[in-house]
């Protein structure tokens, strides 16, 4: 357990750097018509540093705060690097082209969107990484969607729904492990408590995708010539067989054996390289090039070239630099006490369990938007809201679920968040290159925003909102956990010490 005492800061001061950052971001987006949130976030770091210094925080403390939060995100950067390598190598090996080819041959267009969401959910649960799922299987599904003449934002919405559903409930996922670690609950109890909100959200999403599939794709709208052109181009440039799918099968098998995500992804890179050598006739030096700078091909078929010219470590530099800057921004806001002051202002206005759960979900969402990082949204919310849940006598499982609903699931819906940036880059949506129409994938990722709404509904009705067990209460006493007392009107008393918070 770690105790930290932070310097006090007023709410107006705390909000100032966030407000100024959004002003700069808005000017860039609406005045200059560009979308590169890196510089506005760097400006935000400068604003936060000035506010922190005026309120008594030393630069050394701010620097340490930034470095600490960045260090927490380093595993995510490792995964991003491996996803970039995996994408380039799996295209070269014929794995992604084979998935596209057989998908166009075997999947019924009307069922495609529902099948895409379900497939991504299964793969993401197995791999424990939504980012890896989006960059590999998701990319192949985008190609199939293009062949069926389905709008890219519909396909992207289905991919995101499935991939981030799997990330939320997989025991291999880093965010699924982070939420119970921060709130002090058992991992598998946490996963079981996610099902009442997550599963209905996915089922509703699948029904919508099924209905949309029949309305978007009629027999008359399917361009058979387009599908034939894509498949002919793939078969002419790659050796396509079920052998080229072997890397996917083996990687999922390793994940099911509960190997950590990064070794599994690296194994996928190696298997893809071997497949490229043996089946596609690629030279070793070319594999290194594909892993670093991505795959390049010119087939004369616009759809194929647009889909397959991607991947490599370099393709992830936009996302990695954004993640580093966003983590630094979140770290300096935390070290100056700004995030704590804002969350405290929310916590102190809580009057019921419904408002508590809603505030926890909302705070995770807001942190996702402000700090651009899902890890910070889970960690900060889990820290700050714990005393209120303990004071009301509700299980911390409610809080761990709230952090995932507002953190994990909302991250891909924020374009400048790490999750959103991965989706945009991996699926080639091109939002930052001037095609904002592709942002339509956000409302179409139904499972991601339905789950928080269902969670809020449960909180106000009392459904699936467990009270703390006697054993859980005893564990709070043994650990000396902080408790927020509530009076008869449901308002919190002065006993809550906002300057002290603990991480289990």
272 close to 93: Cβ distance less than 8 angstroms: yes
DSSP letter for 135, please: I
Cα angle vertex 182, ends 176, 185, to 5°? 75
Q: Is the pLDDT of residue 155 over 90?
A: yes
pLDDT-derived band of residue 499, with 50, 70 and 90 as boundaries? Answer: very low
Residue 501 dihedral angles phi and psi, to the nearest 5°: -145, 155
Angle between the 59-92 and 284-293 helix axes, to the nearest 10 degrees?
Answer: 140
Note whether residue 376 is domain-resident: yes
Average pLDDT over residues 18-36: 80
Sign of the torsion angle spanned by Cα atoms 94, 97, 99, 101: negative
pLDDT of 433 reads: 41
Q: Is residue 17 part of a domain?
A: no
For residue 381, being part of any structural domain is answered with yes
* Count of structural domains within the chain: 1
* Pair of tokens at residue 287: 């594999």
As a whole number, mean pLDDT of residues 447-455 equals 95
What mean pLDDT value characterizes the chain?
Answer: 83
11 domain residue, yes or no: no
| Residue 297: domain span | 73-317+352-411+434-498
Q: Indicate whether 490 pLDDT > 90.
A: no
* 247 assigned to some structural domain: yes
Lowest pLDDT segment from 209-223, 273-287, 374-388 = 209-223
Work out whether the CA dihedral 263, 267, 273, 277 comes out positive or negative: positive
- pLDDT for 327-341, tens place per residue? 888 889 888 988 778
Binned at pLDDT 50, 70 and 90, residue 3 comes out as: very low
Asked if residue 7 is part of any domain, the answer here is no
Q: 383-439 pLDDT, tens per residue?
A: 778 888 988 889 999 999 999 999 999 999 988 788 888 898 888 786 444 445 468
- Rounded to an integer, the average pLDDT of 218-242 is 77
Domain membership flag for residue 149: yes
Measured at the CA of 272, the angle between CA 268 and CA 276, to 5 degrees, comes to 175
Q: What is the mean pLDDT of residues 105-109?
A: 84
- Residue 493 above 70 pLDDT? no
Give kind and range of the element (H or E) at residue 3: strand 2-5
- Give the predicted TM-score (pTM) of the model: 0.77
CB 5 within 8 A of CB 290: no
Give the model confidence (pLDDT) of 131-141 as tens digits.
888 887 888 88
Q: Of the given ranges (25-29, 121-125, 442-446), which has the lowest mean pLDDT?
A: 25-29
Q: Quick one: pLDDT at residue 8?
A: 65
The secondary structure element, H or E, covering residue 421 is helix 418-426
What's residue 154's pLDDT? 94
Residue 296 lies in a domain: yes
* Integer Cα distance of 158 and 19 in angstroms: 33
* pLDDT tens column, 164-199: 998 888 876 878 878 888 788 888 899 999 999 999
Residue 5: strand pairing partners: 500
Confidence of residue 497 (pLDDT cuts 50, 70, 90): very low
């Amino acid at each position: 357990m770690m105790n930290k005492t932070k310097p006090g800061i007023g709410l107006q001061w705390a909000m100032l750097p966030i407000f100024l950052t959004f002003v700069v971001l808005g000017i860039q987006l609406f005045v200059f018509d560009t979308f590169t949130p890196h510089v506005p976030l760097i400006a935000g770091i400068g604003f936060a540093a000035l506010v922190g210094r005026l309120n008594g925080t030393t630069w050394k403390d701010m620097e340490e705060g930034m470095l600490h939060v960045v260090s927490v995100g380093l595993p995510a950067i490792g995964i991003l690097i491996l996803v970039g390598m995996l994408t380039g190598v799996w295209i070269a090996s014929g794995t992604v082209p084979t998935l596209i080819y057989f998908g166009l041959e075997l999947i019924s267009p009307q069922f495609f969107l529902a099948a895409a969401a379900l497939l991504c959910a299964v793969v993401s649960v197995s791999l424990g990484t939504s980012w890896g799922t989006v960059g590999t299987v998701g990319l192949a599904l985008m190609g199939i969607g293009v062949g069926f003449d389905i709008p890219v934002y519909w396909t992207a919405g289905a991919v995101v729904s499935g991939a981030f559903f799997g990330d939320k409930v997989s025991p291999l996922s880093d965010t699924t492990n982070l939420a119970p670690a921060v709130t002090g609950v058992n991992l598998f109890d946490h996963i079981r408590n996610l099902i009442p909100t997550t599963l209905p959200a996915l089922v509703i999403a699948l029904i919508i995708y099924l209905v949309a599939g029949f309305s978007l794709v009629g027999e008359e709208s399917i361009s058979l010539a387009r599908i034939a052109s894509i498949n002919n181009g793939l078969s002419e440039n790659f050796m396509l067989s079920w052998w080229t799918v072997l890397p996917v099968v083996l990687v999922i098998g390793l994940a099911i054996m509960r190997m950590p995500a990064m070794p599994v992804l690296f194994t996928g890179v190696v298997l893809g390289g071997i497949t490229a050598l043996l089946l596609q006739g690629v030279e070793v030096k070319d594999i290194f090039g594909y892993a670093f700078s991505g795959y390049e091909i010119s087939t004369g078929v616009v759809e194929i070239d647009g889909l397959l010219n991607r991947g490599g470590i370099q393709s992830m530099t936009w996302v990695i630099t954004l993640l580093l800057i966003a983590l630094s921004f979140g770290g300096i806001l935390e070290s100056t006490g700004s995030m704590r002051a804002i969350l405290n202002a929310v916590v102190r206005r809580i009057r019921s369990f419904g408002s508590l759960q809603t505030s926890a979900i909302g705070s995770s969402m807001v942190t996702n938007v402000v700090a651009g990082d899902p890890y910070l949204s889970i960690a900060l919310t889990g820290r700050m809201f714990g005393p209120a849940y303990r004071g009301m006598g509700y299980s911390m499982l409610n809080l761990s679920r709230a952090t995932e609903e507002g953190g994990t699931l909302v991250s891909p819906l924020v374009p400048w968040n790490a999750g959103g940036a991965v989706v945009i880059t991996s699926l080639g949506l091109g939002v930052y290159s001037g095609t904002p129409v592709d942002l339509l994938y956000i409302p179409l990722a139904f499972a991601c925003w339905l789950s928080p709404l269902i969670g809020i509904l449960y909180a106000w009705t009392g459904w699936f909102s467990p009270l703390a067990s006697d054993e859980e209460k005893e564990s709070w006493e043994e650990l000396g956990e902080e408790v927020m007392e509530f009076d008869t009107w449901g308002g919190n008393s002065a006993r809550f010490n906002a300057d002290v918070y603990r991480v289990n």
